[in-house]
Amino acid sequence: MNLTVCFKIIPDYEMVPVHRWEVSGLEPLALRFVRQAFNCYEESALEMALALGETGGSARQDSGSPASAVLGENRVARTALTVDDERADLFLRHLLAVGYDRAVRVAPDQDLRFFPGAVARIIAAAVNRFRPQDLVILGPRGGEGDHCQTGPLVAELLGWPCLMGVSGLALTENGLLEVRTITDRAHRIYTVAPPLVLVTGHALDFSCLRVPTLNQKLSARKKPVETLLPADLGLSVGYLAGTDPLPAELILPAPKQTCTRIEGADPREKARNLFDRYLKSRLVS
Amino acid sequence: MKAVAVIEDIREMGAHARDMIPLLSSVADRLTSLELWVFYTGTPPEAFPCWPVPLTAVHRMAVAHDPVPDQLLDLLMRKAAAADADLYLFAGTDNGNCLAARLGFRLKAGTCLGVESCHMTGETTLAAVRPVFGSRIQARFVLDTPPWCLSAAQNPGRNPAMAEPVCPVCDHPQPAPCRPPWLTSTRVIPIETDDRLSGADRILVLGNGVGSQDTLERLKPVARALGAQMGASRPVVMNGWLPLDRLVGVSGSVTAPSVCIVAGVSGTGVFCAGIRHAGFVVAVNTDPDAPVFRAADVGIVDDLVPVLLELGRLIRGDEPA
């Protein structure tokens, strides 16, 4: 089983105080120097792929041996792929340390935050380069643009089927894949034959990516982060043309209003003030 | 302008129509035709949502039980090729987004998903507004020349009334698409759920600040005293302290209660989008700079547990401990 997990690092929006958000052209100024983090859905995708085919995982985690040390025929070779600048290399090294066999960064020559079609073309071209590949796994809303389109578009470009809302994966004995999806109304368990594009949802069992040990980190330092240009994938500079509409403007929503702070000597007094002044009348009606 | 509203999950027809109606209302004066395309399993539906403009046709398409998007796409593509509509509108669910993106790709359409509002900016240009940067900011996209494929953001409130249509109802003559060769089997395990959160008049939303499931259990009587439904932010659901149908936010329920108490929630953009339509919002958090206070009418900076327990006691009229 050869799989590629696509991820995007994004600014940690929670680090930015609300009043610091401002907009200049298509750039929220406050984000320029903000710490980067894995997108939470793609963090789930990355962990889900690591867990696929593990016999127990402890040997691999402790020794820093390759991720492919799994069940004989069910060997899983994992590639982590991102379309980003060199800021992503630190995250790719983390992924090599926790068990990814290969870490690849495609360095675009343009800002692609609002080009899900262009990103999908790069991913599809990379997956074609990595062939044979059985699975491509992505998050539902990867980059800052929150497009929700990249996974389905990769499926279209590769001519593969696509399942959404994926919460878990398992290999079956006959070489098929069991894909679990979840909505608030049902669990669905699909038995499928790859190749396939999977878009993660609320993966409750894979909320956090594992942390590498010191040995794993040291071992990963010897492994390369491969860097490709779109041209290396056969994509010309015109690959963006006509793929996506650009935003005409960014709009900073106004806060609801000034929040009135309820004071009091202790939590109980604050609760009483809240009840007496604001809630009592509203709860009666 | 000719528009098509696509209902891919008949069980959610009312809610999906509710989400789409604001977008259709904003271009209603340009609509010359509005068709409803409904995929269904089992008995063909007879009643359909009431829309801002009268339907010109309803197309019913029988499909296999619990189809995956790939089973609907080819049929959808054939229908779209014949219909030659300007606007295809989907619900902003996982499968609705998947269908909108893939149909948009095949039709070479201007595509925008999770759209909160739209309006025509010229004879053949459509502006669509949707959240970006983790729902902290909105972006306005201008889509040139139809066709356009949009999916609608969640719109809280009541589902539209259902009625038997006065327009022609067409049944798709082709047999239901069979299971694709790559899909060996599908097993569905229903989750007991209800719609009480999205339609609730009062909600108590707990976030990661609640700290543990034990603490959360201690606070359930407070919700009962308030007559409120319990909601949760994503960390609470991911910890398994409350089920997924309690999730509030862009990827859960967008709510519109008259009273909303939000405790121990930092207030991410995707969360605040889920309480934006609430009437009166109370935020409780130990961090005075938590973004949730910007979405609240009143706030308490303190530990949520004693505040909520005291609030529950006051509502019940119990004697002080």
Residues facing residue A80 across a β-bridge: A5, A103
Q: Which amino acid is at B43?
A: T
- The pair of structure tokens assigned to B232 is 């949760």
Distance CA A160, CA A134 (A): 10
Contact B226 A17 (CB under 8 A): no
- Beta-carbon-side half-sphere exposure of residue A35 (alpha carbons within 13 Å): 6
State how far the Cα of B206 lies from the Cα of B232, in Å rounded to an integer. 5
Distance (Å, whole) CA B179 – CA A20? 51
Between residues 262 and 321 of chain B, which touch chain A (CB distance below 8 Å)?
266, 268-269, 276, 280-283, 289, 291, 293-303, 306-308, 310-311, 314-315
pLDDT tens by residue, A196-219? 999 999 888 898 999 999 999 999
Per-residue pLDDT at A242: 65
pLDDT at A58 over 60: no
* Residues of B with Cβ-Cβ distance to A10 under 8 angstroms: 134
Query: Is the per-residue pLDDT at B6 higher than 60?
Result: yes
CB contact under 8 A, B97 and A275: no
Q: Report the pLDDT value the prediction gives residue B7, as an integer from 0 to 100.
A: 96
Nearest-angstrom CA–CA distance, B74 and A156: 12
Q: What is the DSSP string of B273-306?
A: TTTTT-SEEEEEES-TT-GGGGG-SEEEES-HHH
CA distance B88 to chain A (A): 16
**Mean pLDDT for the stretch of residues B229-255:** 91
Q: Is the pLDDT of residue A243 over 80?
A: no
Q: Could you give the ipTM of this predicted complex?
A: 0.88
Residue-wise pLDDT tens digits, B95-114: 999 999 999 999 999 999 99
Digit-coded pLDDT (tens) for B269-317: 889 989 988 999 999 999 998 989 989 999 999 999 999 999 999 999 8
For residue B259, pLDDT over 70 is answered with: yes
Q: Which of residues 32-61 of B touch A (CB under 8 A)?
A: none
Partner-chain residue, chosen from B184, B186, B314, that has the shortest CB–CB distance to A188: B186
**CB atoms inside a 10 Å sphere around CB B160:** 18
Contact A199, A166 (CB under 8 A): yes
CB < 8 Å from A in window 244-273 of B = 244-245, 247, 251-252, 258-259, 266, 268-269
Per cent of chain B over pLDDT 70 is: 97
C-beta contacts of B127-133 below 8 A and 24+ residues apart: B127/A248, B129/A251, B130/A146, B131/A146, B131/B250, B131/B269, B131/B273, B132/A114, B132/A144, B132/A145, B132/A146, B132/A247, B132/A250, B133/A11, B133/A13, B133/A28, B133/A31, B133/A144, B133/A146, B133/B269
Check residue B68 and give its pLDDT: 92
| Residue of B70, B84, B78, B76 lying closest to B39 (CA atoms) | B76
A161 with B244: Cβ contact below 8 A:
no
What is the three-class DSSP state of A126?
helix
Q: Is B141 within 8 Å of chain A by CB?
A: yes
CB A182 within 8 A of CB B187: no
Residue B7 or residue A185, greater confidence: B7
Output the pLDDT for position A18.
Answer: 72
| Cβ within 8 Å of residue B207, ≥6 positions away | B232, B233, B235, B236, B262, B263, B264, B265, B266, B271
Mutation target vs A (from B310, B316, B318; most A CBs, 10 A cutoff): B310
SS (H, E, C) A192-245: ECCCEEEEECCCHHHCCCCCCCHHHHHHHCCCCEEEECHHHHCCCHHHHCCCCC
Cβ neighbours for A238, distance < 8 A, ≥ 6 positions apart: none
User: Quick count: other Cβ atoms within 10 Å of Cβ B66?
Assistant: 14
> Span B191-196, mean pLDDT?
72
Q: Which residues of B122-131 are buried (b: 16+ CB within 10 A; e: fewer)?
A: eeeebbbbbb
Quote the pLDDT of residue A64: 37
Distance separating alpha carbons of residues A92 and A105, to the nearest angstrom? 8
Reported as a single tens digit per residue, the pLDDT across B117-152 is 999 998 899 999 999 988 888 999 999 889 999 999
Mean pLDDT of A17-35: 78
pTM of the model: 0.89
**pLDDT given for residue A232 in this prediction:** 94
For the stretch A122-142, pLDDT in tens is 999 999 999 999 999 999 987
Of A165, A186, A274, the CB nearest to B300: A274
A-facing residues of B in 9-28 (CB < 8 A) are: 11
Q: Please tell me which residue, B130 or A283, carries the higher pLDDT value.
A: B130
Q: Decide if A272 and B314 are in contact by the 8 Å CB cutoff.
A: yes
Q: What is the mean pLDDT of residues B27-32?
A: 94
Tell me, what's the pLDDT at A2?
Answer: 95
Measured between CB atoms, which of B94, B190, B314 is closest to A201? B94
Report which secondary-structure segment, H or E, holds B163. strand B162-163
Highest mean pLDDT (candidates A60-69, A239-248, B51-60): B51-60
Burial of A89 (0-12, 13-18, 19+ CB in 10 A): middle
> For the ranges A206-215, B59-68, B83-92, B257-266, which has the lowest average pLDDT?
B59-68
Task: Say which of B138, B182, B185 has its CB closest to residue A161.
Answer: B182
CA B92 to chain centre: 6
Q: Is the pLDDT of residue B175 over 90?
A: no
